[in-house]
Amino acid sequence: MIRTENLSKKFGDTHAVENLNLQIEAGEFFCFLGPNGAGKTTTIKMLTGLLHPTGGRALLGGHDIQQQPIEAKKIIGYVPDSPFLYEKLTGREFMRFVAGLYRMPENGYMENTARLLEMFEIHTVADQLIEDYSHGMRQKLSFASCFLHEPKIVIVDEPWVGLDPKNIRFVKNFLRQKTREGVTVFMSTHTLSIAQEIADRIGIIHNGRLLHMGTVPQIMSLAEKPGSLEDVFLELTQDNDA
Amino acid sequence: MNQVGVIMRAKLLMAGHAIASVRHESKLKVGVIGISVVALWVGALLLFLEGLDWLTRFGGGIGSIIVVRMLGVLGMVVFFMLIFSNVLVSFSTLYRSREVNYLVQAPMSFRSFFLARFVECVAFSSWAFAFIGSPVIIAFGITNDAPPGFYLASLLYFLPFVVIPSALGAMITLVLARIFPRLKMRTMALFGCFVILMFFVYWQRSFDAAQISEDSLLPAILDVTAQTQSALLPSHWAARGMLAASDGEYREALFSFGLLASNALMVLWLAANLAGRIFYPGWSGLAGQDRTRIRLPGRGILGRLDGLLAHVPNPVRALVVKDVKLFWRDPAQWSQFVIFFGIMALYIANLRNARGQLQQEFWRSWIACLNIGACTLILATLTSRFVFPLVSLEGRRFWILGLAPLSFHRLVWQKFWLSVATTSVFTVGLAVLSAYILRLELVYFALSVYSVLITNFGLAGLAVGLGTLFPNFQEDNPARIVSGMGGTLNFILSVGYIGFVVGAQTLILQWRVLNLFRSEQAFYVALGCVVAFVTALSVVSTIVPMRLGLKNLRLMEF
């Protein structure tokens, strides 16, 4: 569902991402881990078409995001880490706006909006201006709008910021459920315990290069001493620093 | 270093970095903007030189009196405009800026906080005055053979002169913010409408008094401008001091400077102490307002927009509905739009004063040309202020549009058509109404309406195209987006475009009045050529910036 071929991005002389090769299948929950500045957000921005790669390409559902952006974007949903939304729209109006952008039929929009707003527990504030929302409410609205057009690929950048434990559990289960329905989830996170709990496969990126990729047991086996994913992650990235 | 100094130093460092970053910008872009800005300044200087020279020579001595009074009018208008703009600027700088939360939690007094932020208010509100005012002062100095001391005095007067209205504006904002959280929005809106209405009634009366005949020109002008000579007005102190400096009377000039500087310090002291007392309760009151603002679908015009635009296909409809709602729900946007309406109403109301001149063919053709100029300049102001920032305002929300299955081509052209559809309603209406009030003959009538209609396209193309070519995605405040380099370039090019449109028409209409055409048929052929030229120019003004803007957007990364 997601394939990158030697995907690279340079900012001046700095390699933010270098020759990244990924193959993520339909229904897979892929967690992308890495220290700050490793290249996670740059990768996500290239996958979503917000950044132009300086080398290689990214294919989503078989569509090159640079060559066939419209076709690729039809099947993507994206939740950024800082959900900047239109402050002067209400939550419901924002959902309608997104439905319009994706040319959803009126019936489909109404049904999906009602269901998603209720599911993310923002139906009670749906007619309030977004500027009055808390960070968590914005994040939930961002999630709800992401799933409005029923995407086949969902790209999520550090989604837990601003969510309370109850909502973290809900989002976790919701994303897991979506992968069972065939949706591919590509998630960047620093919350290693969650990645360990829900990821089918994990990729670790450091200094723009993919260090390791595999299932959780495969990644855990890379460590010299047994421990949690956090220990393994620190060991792997520390080794690389040295 | 004290805390105000620390903040000022950080601001200066940021300004230095911003200036240094120009090196990384496209040389062509920087060159075009730089040359345009210099050309505008030199053009303004030449225009003021010519105008002041003509006025000084007018009517043997009368002209000099008129020049002095005009400087008084200019000073007074700038003074009140600075108060008004500071009310708006200081609200965003003191209460709404992203830095405020950080600075309020810092261990510094609110008095220091105010002083640090006030410098920014002064800079933001007065740089345009410095840019446009300097050619006026220099032109005045040259036409009056002023000594070098005059230019030095003008430079010295600038700071205290802008500090007084800025501090007054900031004090009004401090008081309003203290009271505002306790008032209901409806009460505030009604109060605002009342103040605006009173302002226009006052100006209307002033203009009525200015219905002058040629034999009573000087007394009428002196009568109308008498209020600018009030000894209580800082603009009068500045004007008096500068006039004294231009005559080499430095004692008098120094006295005026002392008057200005001491009052500036006193007003600043008052404002800082007022801030020390009422800033925090006001800020905290605003932060603690009842946040339940509900907008039910299907209620009001905005709630019904989707239904009203049902025939417009998505995603264009979604974008239009979004843009309209964001505009009308932002008081900083619509309140300025209301002021534009006021200016238009004032213009229409005063057109009847020109009727007296309509008996002569010469004046009739001139007024027709000036009418096109006035309507298109109002339009240029509308597009520069409201249309140019549309793309920039997507800003940090570009991930929503960037991720949508929507081409940038469609997005940018949607903003163009939205601009044309909205501004045409107002400006073509204004053109029809003004042409009707002026009782223009059919050919002038048709030319006025066509010119205004076609310039809607040209100016929208310039504003949307240049807004896409020079976007500022870091800024949420449209007023600040407009005051950047791209906004300035857009306004300069818009005025230049209008100059060509109006100039071409004025040329042939004046030739007709002067009977320079061999026949009526020759006039209509020339008219056809001018219409074709204006149309072609408008097409170029639409297509070229839009293409450049779109190319820039496609290459951009978010």
Task: Encode pLDDT of B114-150 as tens digits.
Answer: 999 999 889 888 887 888 889 999 998 898 888 888 8
Of the listed ranges A123-137, A181-195, B254-268, B435-449, the one predicted with least confidence: B435-449
Q: Is A130 inside a domain boundary?
A: yes
Q: Which residues are CB-neighbours of A97 under 8 A, at least 6 positions away?
A: A86, A89, B318, B321, B322
Q: Is B312 inside a domain boundary?
A: no
CA distance, residue B468 to nearest chain A CA (Å):
16
Rg (CA), chain A: 18
Q: Is A239 inside a domain boundary?
A: yes
With an 8 Å Cβ cutoff, is B172 touching chain A?
Answer: no
Q: What is the pLDDT of residue B170?
A: 93
Q: Which residues of A touch B399 (CB under 8 A)?
A: 48, 50, 78, 80, 84
User: What average pLDDT score do residues B385-414 get?
Assistant: 85
| DSSP 8-state assignment for residue A128 | B
Q: What is the pLDDT of residue A167?
A: 85
CB-facing half-sphere around the CA of A152: CA atoms within 13 A: 14
Q: What is the pLDDT of residue B404?
A: 85
Largest CA distance in chain B: 81
Per-residue model confidence as pLDDT tens digits over B281-335 = 888 887 766 566 777 777 777 778 888 888 888 888 888 888 888 888 877 677 7
What's the token pair of residue B250? 């430095």
What's the token pair of residue B299? 């209620």
Task: Grade residue B180 by pLDDT with cuts at 50, 70 and 90.
Answer: confident
CA distance, residue A48 to nearest chain B CA (Å):
6
Q: Which domain holds residue A108?
A: 85-150
For residues B501 and A64, what is the distance between their CA atoms, to the nearest angstrom?
A: 46
Q: Is B2 inside a domain boundary?
A: no
Backbone φ and ψ for B405, nearest 5 degrees, come out as -75, 70
Per-residue model confidence as pLDDT tens digits over A156-167 = 988 887 788 888
What 3-state class would DSSP assign to A196? Answer: helix
* Strand partners of residue A156: A79, A187
Residues B362 and B284 in one domain: no
Rg (CA), chain B: 25
With an 8 Å Cβ cutoff, is B399 touching chain A?
Answer: yes
Of the listed ranges A204-218, B13-27, B130-144, B400-414, the one predicted with least confidence: B13-27
Closest to B96 measured CA to CA, from B519, B479, B522: B479
- Alpha-carbon distances, residue A207 vs A10, A35, A47, A204 (angstroms): 12, 9, 18, 10
Residues A98 and A123 in one domain: yes
Sheet (strand A153-157) strand order: A76-79, A153-157, A184-188, A29-33, A201-206, A209-214
For residues B63 and B166, what is the distance between their CA atoms, to the nearest angstrom?
A: 32
- The residue of chain B with its CA nearest to that of A104 is B314
Q: Is A42 inside a domain boundary?
A: no
For residues B254 and B153, what is the distance between their CA atoms, to the nearest angstrom?
A: 8
Contact yes or no for A71 and B405 at CB 8 A: yes
Mean of the per-residue pLDDT values for chain A?
88
Residues A30 and A113 in one domain: no
Q: Which among A92, A97, A132 has CB closest to B297?
A: A92
Residues 376-395 (B) with a CB less than 8 A from some CB of A: 395
Q: Residue B189, Cβ neighbours under 10 Å: how many? A: 12
Task: Grade residue B1 by pLDDT with cuts at 50, 70 and 90.
Answer: low
Contact yes or no for B314 and A103 at CB 8 A: yes
> Which of B292, B397, B400, B476 to mutate to probe the A interface, most A CBs <10 Å?
B400
User: What average pLDDT score do residues A220-228 get?
Assistant: 76
Of B263, B288, B313, the residue that ends a domain is B288
CA distance, residue B408 to nearest chain A CA (Å):
10
- The residue of chain B with its CA nearest to that of A84 is B397
Query: Residues A101, A105, A106, A109: what is their CA dihedral angle, to the nearest 10 degrees?
Result: -70
- Cα angle at B501 between B342 and B341, to 5 degrees? 10
Q: Which residues are CB-neighbours of B430 under 8 A, at least 6 positions away?
A: B344, B347, B348, B375, B378, B452
> Which of B290, B314, B319, B558 to mutate to probe the A interface, most A CBs <10 Å?
B314
User: What average pLDDT score do residues A191-211 get?
Assistant: 90
Q: What is the pLDDT of residue A242?
A: 42
Residue showing tokens 């071409």: B504
- The residue of chain B with its CA nearest to that of A125 is B294
Closest to A189 measured CA to CA, from A31, A80, A46, A55: A31
Contact yes or no for B297 and A128 at CB 8 A: no
Q: Which among A51, A80, A99 has CB closest to B557?
A: A51
Q: Is A204 inside a domain boundary?
A: yes
Q: Which residues of A touch B294 (CB under 8 A)?
A: 90, 127-128
CA distance, residue B544 to nearest chain A CA (Å):
25
Of A103, A125, A150, the residue that ends a domain is A150
User: What average pLDDT score do residues B438-457 get?
Assistant: 87
Of A150, A168, A192, the residue that ends a domain is A150
> Which of B289, B290, B294, B399 to mutate to probe the A interface, most A CBs <10 Å?
B399
Q: What is the pLDDT of residue B193?
A: 64
Whether A231 has a pLDDT exceeding 70, the answer reads: yes
Residues A67 and A164 in one domain: yes
Q: What percentage of chain B exceeds 90 in pLDDT?
A: 20
Question: How many beta-carbon pairs under 8 angstroms link A with B?
Answer: 107
Q: Which among B293, B395, B558 has CB closest to A50?
A: B558
Which of A179-188, B35-44, B326-335 has the highest mean predicted lDDT (pLDDT)? A179-188
Whether B192 has a pLDDT exceeding 80, the answer reads: no
Q: Is A80 inside a domain boundary?
A: no
Residues A169 and A52 in one domain: yes
Of B288, B309, B328, the residue that ends a domain is B288
Pairwise pLDDT comparison (A61 vs A222), residue with the higher score? A61
What 3-state class would DSSP assign to A60? Answer: strand
Per-residue model confidence as pLDDT tens digits over B55-67 = 877 666 677 777 7
**Pairing state between β A76-79 and A29-33:** unpaired
Q: Which among A45, A97, A128 has CB closest to B293?
A: A128
Of the listed ranges A218-227, B135-144, B408-417, the one predicted with least confidence: A218-227
Q: Is A6 inside a domain boundary?
A: yes
Closest to A22 measured CA to CA, from A35, A12, A39: A39
Mean of the per-residue pLDDT values for chain B?
82
Residues A241 and A194 in one domain: yes
With an 8 Å Cβ cutoff, is B320 touching chain A?
Answer: no
Pairwise pLDDT comparison (B468 vs B350), residue with the higher score? B468
- Alpha-carbon distances, residue A208 vs A50, A102, A218, B504 (angstroms): 18, 33, 21, 59
For residues A233 and A220, what is the distance between their CA atoms, to the nearest angstrom?
A: 9
CATH of the domain at A17: 3.40.50.300
Residues A22 and A113 in one domain: no
Of B253, B288, B323, the residue that ends a domain is B288
Per-residue model confidence as pLDDT tens digits over B487-539 = 888 988 898 899 999 888 888 888 888 888 888 888 889 889 999 999 999 99
Residues A66 and A159 in one domain: yes
Q: Which domain holds residue B183?
A: 25-288
pTM over 0.80: no
Q: Which residues of B touch A89 (CB under 8 A)?
A: 322, 325-326
Q: What is the pLDDT of residue A230?
A: 80
Q: Which among A88, A100, A102 has CB closest to B325?
A: A88
Largest CA distance in chain A: 58
**Pairing state between β A2-11 and A55-60:** antiparallel
Residues B258 and B381 in one domain: no
Q: Is A55 inside a domain boundary?
A: yes
Of A119, A150, A181, the residue that ends a domain is A150
Residues B189 and B74 in one domain: yes
What are the start-end ranges of the E strands in chain A?
Answer: 2-11, 14-24, 29-33, 55-60, 63-64, 76-79, 153-157, 184-188, 201-206, 209-214
Residues A133 and A215 in one domain: no
Contact yes or no for B405 and A90 at CB 8 A: no
- Cα angle at A176 between A154 and A24, to 5 degrees? 50
Backbone φ and ψ for A235, nearest 5 degrees, come out as -65, -45
Task: Grade residue B216 by pLDDT with cuts at 50, 70 and 90.
Answer: low
Q: What is the pLDDT of residue B340?
A: 73
